[in-house]
A and B are shown apart, each in its own frame.
Chain A
Amino acid sequence: MVATKFRLEYSSNIGFATDQGGRGFQLPAHMAVRSDNRIFVASRGRGPTVGVQMVSREFEFFGKIGSQGKSLGQMIEPSAIAFDANENLYVADEKLNRITRFDYEGEVIDSWGQSGSEPGQFNHPSGLLIQDDVVFVSDALNHRIQKYTLNGDFIEQWGDRGLDGETLKNPWGITCANNGDVFVADWGNDRVVRFTEKGKFISDIRKGEGGDLSLNRPADVAVDKDDNLFIADWGNQVLQVFDWAGNFLTLESQEEDDAKEAQKEG
């Protein structure tokens, strides 16, 4: 079903700024929700604030994974996090140019990657997606997407610096459609691109059909069960929502929602 409107309702605010670690965040860069609804937040501030913090929707604070540093299990600029099917946690680090894997308990397992532009190397890994035991990494300053096994073995890559089609410019967030296609926030090109999981270009969105605001440095994208796209339009400081065909969706008002409910009841 293709929606023409969507609803968003303010629920609550989680967190506050902290400089000293403990509860709260400093420069939260990315988040992921585990199957038990625990929220993991990559904080890339400095000193004791660096790491992946664990909280609940009610902002219970459970602790932090990792600390600032270069050793195995440590981080400097965590940029993206994702879970595999076994609920292991993967953390990309833009400064250390590596992916680190932690188990369910938060114990470090291993890491891979180093600085560079060859396959298996990174220059600011900014986005992570795990789908069917494949790790997709948005490799921002190499303008490409790389694919790895869960153990960090390189599979393949696509992308090169460019303006359109299969090329990219500083890609950031990455997520998947319900059919396994991959959406990439092509930050530097002000668009969101849909690829097959092999990297073949399918389509892109720069401005929603019917919308009046072109994307401006989109940072990330999330997909719901109907393949509607929720795009963090970083440059415009707004959330834009499109259906799978690229039609701009408008926010449904409370009045419209109430009217619908009344109609149903009537």
Chain B
Amino acid sequence: MTTIEAATHEQLVAHLYRRAGFGATPQEMEQVKGMPYDDIVDKLMDFTSSDYFPTDFISRFHKDQSDLRLAEAAGAHWVYRMVMTETPLREKMCLFWHRIFATAGTKLIQHRVIVNQINMFRERGVGKFDDLLVGLSQDPAMLMWLDNQDNHGANINENYGREILELFAMGVGNYSEDDIKDTARAFTGWTVVNPEYMSIKMRNNTVRPYGYISWQYQYDPEDHDQGSKTILGETGNWDGEDAVRIICDQKATAEYIARHLYHFFVADEVPVPQWPHQAPRDEKAINLMVESYFGNGHSIKAMLETMFKSDFFKDESTRYARIKSPAEMVVGTMRLAGPIELPSDDTYYAQSVCSNMGQGLLRPPSVEGWQGGSEWINTGAYVERINFASKILNDPGKKGVEDLLNRIKNASDIGMLFSDQLVEACLTVLGPIEVAETTRDRLKTYAAKYGELSWDDEEATEYFNRAAISIIQLIVSTQEYQTA
């Protein structure tokens, strides 16, 4: 392999990690060095092991993460998982489903139930789509969010029946108003245990001697409409699981999920409300994923594999073409700074910054979630991004930053670096990141003020650290770092 090919391969792998993960840390790049691209995709999609998560330690030292009632605690809790995960794609898929099946604590008053919903995504988010939709339809947060506890056999509430067709699985234009009604009827009796009492508890925030209680799903056969229903052309005495089966068998469903995957992982699509009126950006790509869906028993994992191994994903034109969501940028930067081993406020800071940038985790603005794309960026949000990334990486004592500095030093065999070399080494360890030539030139111009750098003694090391961190801070402020 020539040097150019090697560089190209590395850049492709970095692209994969930016999309399928939160950007590669130098350690992650090292782990897959020399591996063929497809094997790296397989490694990223190995979901067999669960991450170690020290719930006891976190609950003890961050007591608000014991009950997870407040948005800040719940958001920080998830940020911690995303930063620490060894299976970043699984967490990315949680973000993906959270964006589509958007459920917010603002209506539910408490956030623990939404953390439970995210846990369900973690468990079912890359499996058979039918299982995920059943899990969603039985998820207490979703049931209460879309009022299915008020969907009774004798008096239906169409809210969930409408949204599962319109927003969660198929998209506008692929069903009728009658389908909505009969889908809602299929989900009658899908409720939570003791709904009246729990509904009052949810809203009554005062006398609560036993703390906040999570809802539990319950099927009430007495409240289920046992009559015949016609959903998307199929007639029978359907219940919720039948409705999910019928929905998941539709080509429109596969196309809708494929388009969402493309939108999230490959390139920004037009806003979802325009989808019925505008063809996908790359119909061939959508068709490939649809084939994969039907050829593999409605497997989301199979769709992902098809996507990541396809030419349309690898194409150079897609690189740095998506603006990172606040969560992607924030978590990726924290992963560079290293693992969180002790109680830390960084996770709280991170969730708050995400919120300031328009992506309050577990608090999507509406059931339609976030559109993303260019909406993530405005003047204030960009400043917020730069400030966060600069601050998190401005600590040579953090393990990840220390590791970055050591790797930059290792770029030299002679114990010193010229300022131009410093810039190149920083760009390499942070990705590698390919920046525009003008950006590269400006970075080098700025770095020139540090002259030749060595790390012979404490004073020189301190000077080197300051120089290297200042270049890192400039790089994380670039357009290329803020995109994926």
B173 at the interface (CB under 8 A from A): no
Bound Cα distance from A170 to B57, whole angstroms = 9
B380 at the interface (CB under 8 A from A): no
Bound Cα distance from A220 to B301, whole angstroms = 46
The answer to whether A15 and B209 touch across the interface, beta carbons within 8 angstroms, is yes
Contact of A187 with B63 at beta-carbon distance under 8 Å, contacts A15-B209, A16-B208 already known = no
The answer to whether B64 and A27 touch across the interface, beta carbons within 8 angstroms, is yes
The answer to whether A16 and B63 touch across the interface, beta carbons within 8 angstroms, is no
From 177 to 216 in chain B, residues with beta carbon under 8 angstroms from any chain A beta carbon are 205-209, 211-212
B341: shortest Cβ distance to chain A, in Å?
Answer: 10
The answer to whether A44 and B63 touch across the interface, beta carbons within 8 angstroms, is yes
The answer to whether A29 and B56 touch across the interface, beta carbons within 8 angstroms, is no
Find chain A residues with CB under 8 A from B57 CB.
170
A141 at the interface (CB under 8 A from B): yes
With an 8 Å Cβ cutoff, the count of chain A residues facing the other chain is 20
The answer to whether B209 and A94 touch across the interface, beta carbons within 8 angstroms, is no
The answer to whether A124 and B61 touch across the interface, beta carbons within 8 angstroms, is yes
| Selected contact of B56 from candidates A27, A44, A235, CB within 8 Å | A235
Contact of A45 with B56 at beta-carbon distance under 8 Å, contacts A13-B209, A16-B209 already known = no
Find chain B residues with CB under 8 A from A27 CB.
63-64, 66-67
The answer to whether A19 and B61 touch across the interface, beta carbons within 8 angstroms, is no
Bound Cα distance from A72 to B327, whole angstroms = 37
The answer to whether B206 and A16 touch across the interface, beta carbons within 8 angstroms, is yes
Find chain A residues with CB under 8 A from B206 CB.
16
Interface of B (DSSP majority class): loop
From 42 to 67 in chain A, residues with beta carbon under 8 angstroms from any chain B beta carbon are 44-46
Find chain A residues with CB under 8 A from B66 CB.
27
Interface of A (DSSP majority class): loop
Contact of A187 with B60 at beta-carbon distance under 8 Å, contacts A124-B343, A141-B342 already known = yes
The answer to whether B61 and A94 touch across the interface, beta carbons within 8 angstroms, is yes
A17 at the interface (CB under 8 A from B): yes
B74: shortest Cβ distance to chain A, in Å?
Answer: 14
With an 8 Å Cβ cutoff, the count of chain B residues facing the other chain is 17
Bound Cα distance from A141 to B344, whole angstroms = 13
Find chain B residues with CB under 8 A from A94 CB.
61, 343
A217 at the interface (CB under 8 A from B): yes
From 358 to 409 in chain B, residues with beta carbon under 8 angstroms from any chain A beta carbon are none
Find chain A residues with CB under 8 A from B211 CB.
17
Contact of A19 with B63 at beta-carbon distance under 8 Å, contacts A141-B342, A235-B56 already known = no
A83: shortest Cβ distance to chain B, in Å?
Answer: 23
Find chain A residues with CB under 8 A from B60 CB.
170, 172, 187, 217, 219, 234
The answer to whether A29 and B209 touch across the interface, beta carbons within 8 angstroms, is no
| Selected contact of A217 from candidates B56, B61, B208, B343, CB within 8 Å | B56
Find chain A residues with CB under 8 A from B56 CB.
217, 234-235
Bound Cα distance from A94 to B64, whole angstroms = 14
Bound Cα distance from A57 to B342, whole angstroms = 37
The answer to whether A17 and B208 touch across the interface, beta carbons within 8 angstroms, is yes
Bound Cα distance from A50 to B56, whole angstroms = 23
Contact of A16 with B207 at beta-carbon distance under 8 Å, contacts A124-B343, A141-B342, A235-B56 already known = yes
Q: Closest residue to A15 on the B side, CB-wise? A: B209
B94: shortest Cβ distance to chain A, in Å?
Answer: 26
Q: Closest residue to B69 on the A side, CB-wise? A: A17
From 1 to 39 in chain A, residues with beta carbon under 8 angstroms from any chain B beta carbon are 13, 15-17, 19, 27, 29
Per-residue interface assignment for chain B, residues 403 to 420, with 1 indicating a CB less than 8 Å from any chain A CB and 0 otherwise: 000000000000000000
The answer to whether A45 and B343 touch across the interface, beta carbons within 8 angstroms, is no
Bound Cα distance from A172 to B205, whole angstroms = 31
Per-residue interface assignment for chain A, residues 222 to 247, with 1 indicating a CB less than 8 Å from any chain B CB and 0 otherwise: 00000000000011000000000000
Bound Cα distance from A127 to B37, whole angstroms = 52
Bound Cα distance from A23 to B42, whole angstroms = 55
Q: Closest residue to B66 on the A side, CB-wise? A: A27
Contact of A19 with B205 at beta-carbon distance under 8 Å, contacts A45-B64, A94-B61, A124-B61 already known = yes
**Which A residues are within 8 Å of any B CB, using their own CB?**
13, 15-17, 19, 27, 29, 44-46, 94, 124, 141, 170, 172, 187, 217, 219, 234-235
A-B pairs with beta carbons under 8 Å apart, 21 shown = A15-B209, A16-B207, A16-B209, A17-B205, A17-B208, A17-B211, A17-B212, A19-B205, A27-B63, A27-B67, A29-B63, A44-B63, A45-B64, A94-B61, A124-B61, A124-B343, A141-B342, A170-B60, A172-B60, A217-B56, A217-B60
4 closest A-B pairs by CB: A27-B63, A13-B209, A17-B208, A217-B56
